[in-house]
């Protein structure tokens, strides 16, 4: 079966001003959509239907033709909200194993056991207390593994996140470690996500990202995604498995990253564990999210938003100044914007917008803000002057 409903509805009733603003927004959005279409037509001709995520890939040692990746179950609430480990964790791994594990294949997926205590101590992008035992690429035991977590991270806007840690040399980006996070909040709060097959599909997609895959445009694989629709297929297909084989290659061994530089003194990183130079051992982190609140039209998004404004970025440079780490610790950072015009709600003056990013992590479909840029924003209110964008769909450059 498929998820029957995929988006939140708000109770806000449209009034006369709302309708007026909405049609105005539709015109703005329509002209922007034409520009986006032209850009994506170019993308198709150059991308050649390869669904690789950027140029990210695993590599196997020079003397071998295969790499084995343990995908470890670090999900600590397997029975929460009625889905269980079998459907939302074990099956996706077996599904990937089916499509990519063959004698000539580059990669084998193994179910592993989560290392002891990793659920509370592992977070490659840094919780405030997790650097004591870091199961990221700075720890050789973690290289070649993917850890999958679940937790109630709160109303973050995403229901699943995949993170890869990359070591780059000469422009070649090798994945050395991966994490998958499922946000139980949405399974608890919305029936659409309280569905083992929906969670299985999201888990499948996030694991696929940690193998170096991007989304596909056809709804015949768990790698299908659009901002507005979580697809119906909960398994990877043969094409996905072939792509993993194709992009995973050998040209040397994975270089162990250098040890954490303690830089400012013997215990600098003990005192400031979240300082950038104490994180990641030289690797960079990239993330992909499955957004929980997708909208089929701008009008629908308008109805669901608490506020709709156009605004100019005053300070977009706060992304590594983390303001909070909900749940087990994905970082959240802020941008400061000046409102230019209000289409819905009573926001005014200077506002802050929160995004899941920071500490070296970038969510690639939700990039940073540049000072002076203008956006049309569909917002969810978090506090008096604090908002988050309902979904990256709801942030339109002007
Ligand atoms: Zn390579
Ligand atoms: Zn995705």
Per-residue pLDDT, 134: 41
Q: How far apart are CA 108 and CA 88, in angstroms?
A: 20
Instruction: Quote the Cα angle for 59-61-66, to 5°.
Output: 70
User: How far does the centroid of ligand 2 lie from the alpha carbon of residue 288, in Å?
Assistant: 6
Distance 169 CA to ligand 2 centre (A): 25
Q: What's the pLDDT score for residue 138?
A: 52
Distance 203 CA to ligand 2 centre (A): 10
The rounded Å distance from CA 60 to ligand 1 centre is 9
Give the CA angle between residues 154, 175, 124 to the nearest 5°. 40
Ligand nearest to the CA of 160: 2
What pLDDT does 82 receive?
Answer: 58
- Ligand 2 centre to CA of 253 (Å) is 28
Residue 159's φ and ψ, nearest 5 degrees, are: -105, -20
Taking the CA of 159 as reference, the closest ligand is 2
CATH class of 301-397: mainly beta
Q: Which ligand has an atom closest to residue 365 CA?
A: 2
Q: What is the mean pLDDT of residues 344-354?
A: 94
Question: What does the pLDDT read at residue 285?
Answer: 80
Distance 247 CA to ligand 1 centre (A): 8
Ligand 1 geometric centre to CA of 277 (Å): 25
What are the backbone angles phi and psi of residue 155, rounded to the nearest 5°?
-85, 75
Q: What is the sign, positive or negative, of the torsion defined by CA atoms of 182, 186, 187, 191?
A: negative
Residue indicated by tokens 């094409």: 239
d(C-alpha 238, C-alpha 129), whole Å: 41
Which ligand number lies closest to the CA of residue 289? 2
The mean pLDDT of 23-47, rounded to a whole number, is 44
Rounded Cα–Cα distance for residues 356 and 371 (Å): 19
Contact 378, 392 (CB under 8 A): no
Query: Backbone phi, then psi, for 356, in 5-degree steps?
Result: -75, 105
DSSP at 309: E
Ligand closest to 255 (CA) is 1
Q: How far apart are CA 241 and CA 204, in angstroms?
A: 12
Closest-CA residue to 306 (of 103, 100, 177, 155): 155
Nearest ligand for residue 57 CA:
1
Question: Which tokens sit at 14?
Answer: 């449209």
Task: Spell out the alpha helix ranges (H) of 113-263.
Answer: 118-121, 184-189, 196-210, 238-247
Strands 361-363 and 284-291: parallel
pLDDT band at 66 (very low <50, low <70, confident <90, very high): confident
Of 224, 219, 207, 389, whose CA–CA distance to 308 is shortest?
389
* pLDDT tens-place string over residues 133-180: 344 445 556 678 888 887 777 888 899 999 888 877 777 888 888 888
Tell me how far the alpha carbon of residue 349 is from its chain's centroid: 30
What is the three-class DSSP state of 45?
helix
Mean pLDDT of 182-186: 84
State in Å: Cα 289 to ligand 2 middle: 6
The answer to whether 233 and 224 have CB atoms below 8 angstroms apart is yes
**In 3D, which of 346, 348, 367 has the Cα closest to residue 357?**
367
Task: Please state which CATH number belongs to domain 46-255+265-291.
Answer: 3.40.390
Q: How far away, in angstroms, is 72 Cα from ligand 1 center? A: 24
Ligand 2 centre distance from Cα of residue 365 (Å): 9
- Determine the distance separating the centroid of ligand 1 and the alpha carbon of 203, expressed in angstroms: 26
Range picked from 108-112, 127-131, 307-311, 321-325 for highest mean pLDDT: 307-311
Asked if the model's pLDDT at residue 5 lies above 60, the reply is: no
Q: Is the pLDDT of residue 261 over 90?
A: no
pLDDT digits (tens, 9 = 90+) for 269-302: 555 554 444 444 446 788 999 998 888 899 999 9
Domain with CATH 2.40.50.120 in the chain: 301-397
Q: pLDDT band for position 83 (50/70/90)?
A: low
| Spacing, Cα 64 to ligand 1 middle (Å) | 14
Q: Which ligand is nearest to the CA of 223?
A: 2
Rg (CA), the chain: 21
Give the residues across from 389 on adjacent strands: 379
pTM of the model: 0.78
- Ligand 1 center to 316 CA (angstroms): 33
Ligand 1 center to 160 CA (angstroms): 27
Question: Bigger pLDDT: 288 or 6?
Answer: 288
Report whether pLDDT(88) > 50: yes
Structure tokens at 252: 């040397």
The boundaries of every CATH 3.40.390 domain in the chain are 46-255+265-291
Provide the pLDDT confidence category of residue 184 given band limits of 50, 70 and 90: confident
**Average of pLDDT values for 389-396?**
93
């Amino acid at each position: 079966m498929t998820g029957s409903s995929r988006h939140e509805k708000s109770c806000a009733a449209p009034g006369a001003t709302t309708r007026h603003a909405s049609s105005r927004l539709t015109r703005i959005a329509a002209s922007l959509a034409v520009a986006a279409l032209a850009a994506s037509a170019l993308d198709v001709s150059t991308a050649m239907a390869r669904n690789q995520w950027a140029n990210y890939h695993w590599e196997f040692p020079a003397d071998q033709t295969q790499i084995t990746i343990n995908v470890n179950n670090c999900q600590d609430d397997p029975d929460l909200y009625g889905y269980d480990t079998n459907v939302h964790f074990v099956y996706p791994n077996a599904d990937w194993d089916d499509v990519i594990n063959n004698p000539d294949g580059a990669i084998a997926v193994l179910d592993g056991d989560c290392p002891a205590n990793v659920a509370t101590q592992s977070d490659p992008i840094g919780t405030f207390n997790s650097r004591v035992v870091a199961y990221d690429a700075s720890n050789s035991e973690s290289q070649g593994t993917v850890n999958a977590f679940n937790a109630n991270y709160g109303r973050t806007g995403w229901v699943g996140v995949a993170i890869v840690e990359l070591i780059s040399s000469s422009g070649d980006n090798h994945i050395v470690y991966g994490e998958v996070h499922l946000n139980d909040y949405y399974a608890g709060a919305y029936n659409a996500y309280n569905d083992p097959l929906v969670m299985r599909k999201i888990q499948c997609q996030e694991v696929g990202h940690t193998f170096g895959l991007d989304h596909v445009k056809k709804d015949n694989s768990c790698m299908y995604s659009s901002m507005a629709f979580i697809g119906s297929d909960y398994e990877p297909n043969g094409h996905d498995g072939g792509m993993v084989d194709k992009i995973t290659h050998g040209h040397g061994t994975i270089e162990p990253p250098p040890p954490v530089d303690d830089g400012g003194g013997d215990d600098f990183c003990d005192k400031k564990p979240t300082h950038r130079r104490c994180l990641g051992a030289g690797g960079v982190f990239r993330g992909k999210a499955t957004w929980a609140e997708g909208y089929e039209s701008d009008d629908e998004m308008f109805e669901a938003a608490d506020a709709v404004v156009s605004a100019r970025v005053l300070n977009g440079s706060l992304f590594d100044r983390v303001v909070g780490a909900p749940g087990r610790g994905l970082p959240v950072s802020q941008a400061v914007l000046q409102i230019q015009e209000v289409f819905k709600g009573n926001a005014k003056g200077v506002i802050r917008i929160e995004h899941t990013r920071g500490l070296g992590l970038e969510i690639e479909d939700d990039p940073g803000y540049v000072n002076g840029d203008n956006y049309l924003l569909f917002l969810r209110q978090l506090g008096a002057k604090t908002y988050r964008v309902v979904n990256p769909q709801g942030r339109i450059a002007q």
